[in-house]
Structure 1
Amino acid sequence: MYNDAILDGYGAAALRLKRDPLRIKTSGSEFPLTLGRDVSGVVMECGLDVSYFKPGDEVWAAIPPWKQGTLSEFVVASGNEVSRKPRCLSHIQAASLPYVGLTAWSAMNQIGGLNKDNCSSKRVLIFGASGGVGTFAIQLGKAWGAHVTAVCSEDASELVKRLGADEMVDYKSGNMEKQLKTLPLFDFILDNIGGSTEKWAPDLLKKWSGATYVSLVTPFLVNVDRLGVADGMLQTGVTIGAKAVKHLCKGIHYRWAFFTPSGPYLDEIADLVDSGKIHPVIDQVFSFSDVPKAFWKMEEGHARGKTVISVTNKK
């Protein structure tokens, strides 16, 4: 839940940069725990090894989960996690993109092998297309030239079409699986919802063509909580290995994807934003004093894009 809470750190809020993660002043295991993953703000201080940022630079970042979060006036980040903010966005707009952008980038590019040079003839299917990751993934696929089919509810159809989706399938229609099976087979599937979908959706992929099914819903955290770190990681490895082999025998690739913090990837995303190919999708902006309300809203689900926390009154 907390991964969708975002900090807009402009004005009095700021971003302190430290190159060496060992010099981070706070740890993700300390309490009270600070939530939030995304940040957009102004650099206040830089570590001695940071030469490519300076105080006053406007930057954005997504902080990894093993560090303290971003719902605060000051955030400490490693230099390689930070990128210069897209020039065309306000800090509130920019704060809605890093975490979902890097998650979608990890799934589609790093795991799925998609990029601007090989997508022109690819068919992409996205489950959970109206959420934070889904809305970004639609735009990324279209920016790379793919044909994108979005699965969402009917009331989100206007949004996903505006973002560039070529086709929309309503999962509330009662015959989602049947509708999808009438369409041509896909080259790539991004699954943001998991559950029963995983049992039949891989059959929608082209067999023996390098087609890939990537799920963002994994048992990793559940296994670690239940079995401990070592045994939980072992059980997770066994599960993904068994599923990968099972699907490989059917002629498709099965993978899991995770959020990966990366300043260089954010640089590429910033270029797409500044060129007008990717736009922020913000469901609602809350003031810092209304953080509990923001989390209650997220708990209800069905958000259209991201929920943003503005730490100051400035934009």
Structure 2
Amino acid sequence: MASTDELLFHISEKIDELQVQLSSSAAAARLSLQAGLTELRQTGGRLASGEVWQQAAQRWRLATAAAADRWTSLREFVSEFDVREFIETTRLLVLTEASTVHLCLLGAGFGAGLLVGYLVGRGRRVRTVRQPALMRAVICGTYEGLDGVLAVEDQPRPELVSPTEVLVRVKAATVDRVDLRIASGYGRALRRQVNRYNPHVDSELPVVLGRDLAGVVDQVGSEVTQWQVGDPVWAAVPFWRPGTLAEFVVLEEKELCRKPDAVTFERAAALPYSGTVAWNALVTQGGIGPDTAQDKRVLVHAAASGVGLVATQLLKAWGGHVTTTVSARLVPLARMLGADDVIEYDTADLEKELSLRDKFDLVLNTAGPSLHASCLRHCAETGLVVSTVEAAMPSDRFGFVLGTLYALWIRFTRLAGQVLFLPESWGTVTFSADTLAQLAALVDARELQAVVEHTFDWQDADAAFHYLARGDAVGKPVVSFRHLAPPQPVTEDGS
């Protein structure tokens, strides 16, 4: 019987021979196919005659024959390999050259592996997975407009991630007109990119709807100093953030403001988002504020909208002259809110009525692009036209290439904002607690009031969306979460 070294040398020699044969076969086949493809490109005009296909078939036959030869060689090698001889040689190798120490180490390693595997498997069997706490929420599951709006009971409840975050138990929230657009896909590209950096969002859909809320603090982070559990608060979030139509919402400490004491949660919920948009349109963009509104002539289109109601009251509280356009049935409401001049757009000739009046220092368009040309005609030469309707977002129609560049721009802008300590903002409106505090002071002073025509239970939120979509709603519909039972604590075994 051959020695161990001779056997191993023989096996190594055969394996090397087989590798050389297979390599040469693969190289030959690859070169043959490459040559065939090159010739196909050069002789495309001969495709109809069939000559090219004949040449390709010939090369394929050659490559197949070469591979068959190599396979035959492999089979011959395997047939010559004596398994019994190999086993016997291996046995002699173990008996004569493997020491007791080697065998002990092998046995110890095998036993340790079995023990570790057993412990890991046993740990996985007894460890239970903690089920996430759930909450009620109003979401859009698809971007199909009103058909995609759902009231669900199994939305994952958000948890505090940052030490500066606050968990708010929502008592009431509202449906804004921008929510109707979000349910149809508005801002989906921006939302998808920004939410990649939001630890509270796992996927693009579903999207929690709602833009403002009133509620109480339920839990605070370890570094929160301004709020305590039970404090009444209100807040507003932009369209690219997760919404507020849910039992619980997580916000940063600095985004919250104390709710005005003079109003209920339902009425308070109708003001933060619309109030912030109106404040931005008048003060930031229009240049008309508490100290500059005296004797300014301002036209507020669609004064019964959420923004129009707040803007009319702000201007009157600051001493401005307000002309509003409303439907005939809402004239008493406009008068009650302090409008100096009211135009019924559904019974009178709007253009004619406006032409009879002096031009305005500021025209606030809360209706939409259809009135933009009219707004320009009736604005003074030194005046301004400000629209509170969100402009269409080109990014919603970006393809792969532009979408990739847009994602890079979002990332760069976020990093630059973090380096410069700038607030994250992706629109013309900045939502801040400072603005909410000034609105709250006006509410407590009885100079600003919330107008709520209808309040819906959270289960009937789809009716609130249809009500707002009709186009004749007064203000914004409120969705109440006040009468829900407190959630049951979740045990470690998920029960």
TM-score by length of 1: 0.80
Count of paired positions? 278
Secondary structure at 1:212 match in 2: strand
Cα distance per residue 1:13-65 (max 9 Å; x no partner): 99979636999642395432211111111111222332222222110001222
Change (3 A) 1:16 1:149: farther
CA distance in 1, matches of 2:282, 2:202: 28
Match of 2:430 among 239, 247, 260: 260
Q: Find the counterpart in structure 1 of residue 300 from structure 2.
A: 126
Q: Find the counterpart in structure 2 of residue 278 from structure 1.
A: 448
Q: Find the counterpart in structure 2 of residue 9 from structure 1.
A: none
Answer yes or no: is 1:175 the counterpart of 2:346: no
How far residue 275 of structure 1 moved from its aligned partner, in angstroms, is 0.4
Q: Which stretches in structure 2 are left out of the alignment for 5+ residues? A: 1-138, 140-148, 150-156, 167-194, 406-426, 485-495
Identity score, percent: 37
Q: Which stretches in structure 1 are left out of the alignment for 5+ residues? A: 6-12, 235-256
Q: Find the counterpart in structure 2 of residue 214 from structure 1.
A: 386
Does the CA contact (< 8 Å) of 1:14 and 1:41 recur in 2?
A: no
Change (3 A) 1:28 1:171: farther
Counterpart code for 2:220: C
Change (3 A) 1:100 1:29: farther
Alignment of 1:142-291 (within 5 A): 142-207=316-381, 209=382, 211-221=383-393, 223-227=394-398, 258-291=428-461
Change (3 A) 1:218 1:280: closer
Q: Find the counterpart in structure 1 of residue 465 from structure 2.
A: 295
The structure having more radius of gyration, on CA atoms, is: 2
How far residue 230 of structure 1 moved from its aligned partner, in angstroms, is 9.5
Cα distance per residue 1:252-293 (max 9 Å; x no partner): xxxxx8443211100000000000000001020001111111
Cα distance per residue 1:182-227 (max 9 Å; x no partner): 11221111101123321132122221x3x21101234333x22223
Counterpart code for 1:309: V
CA distance in 2, matches of 1:14, 1:26: 6
CA distance in 1, matches of 2:267, 2:295: 31
CA distance in 1, matches of 2:289, 2:161: 30
Does the CA contact (< 8 Å) of 1:17 and 1:78 recur in 2?
A: no
TM-score by length of 2: 0.52
Q: Find the counterpart in structure 1 of residue 479 from structure 2.
A: 309
Match of 2:276 among 99, 102, 109: 102
Q: Find the counterpart in structure 2 of residue 41 from structure 1.
A: 215
Secondary structure at 1:142 match in 2: helix
Secondary structure at 2:380 match in 1: coil
CA distance in 1, matches of 2:400, 2:454: 36
Query: Which protein is richer in helix relative to its size?
Result: 2
Counterpart code for 1:115: G
Task: Point out the more displaced range, 83-92 or 191-200.
Answer: 191-200
Counterpart code for 2:218: M
Q: What's the RMSD between the two structures over aligned residues? A: 2.9
Secondary structure at 1:283 match in 2: coil
Relative contact order (alpha carbons < 8 A, sep ≥ 6): 1 or 2 greater?
A: 1
